[in-house]
Amino acid sequence: MGDIDLADDLWGEVFEPLRDLSLFIEVEADPELGTVGWPNGADLDPESLLEVVRPVEPAI
C-alpha cells in the first residue's frame, strides 16, 4: 500500500481538470492498462507510479 502526491504533476490539457476533486475521485483501476485512469481519458504510467510511491501503514 502506498501514497503518491500528484499536486505538482497535474498540468496540461488532460491532467489539469483532475485538480477538481469531484473529477479526481472518479479514478478507477484499469486492468487492461495495469494502471489508474479517469473518465476524461487521463491515465498514469504504472512504472512511473512505482518510482514515486511512498509506503504507508494501513489504517487499523
16 falls within a domain: yes
Q: Which residues form the domain of 20?
A: 2-55
List, for residues 1-18, the tens digit of each pLDDT value: 788 998 888 999 999 999
pTM for this one? Answer: 0.77
List, for residues 17-58, the tens digit of each pLDDT value: 999 999 999 999 999 889 999 999 999 998 988 888 898 887
Positive or negative CA dihedral for 45, 9, 36, 23? negative
When divided into structural domains, the chain yields a total of 1
60 falls within a domain: no
28 falls within a domain: yes
34 falls within a domain: yes
Q: Which residues have CB under 8 Å from 53's CB, separation 6+?
A: 2, 3, 4
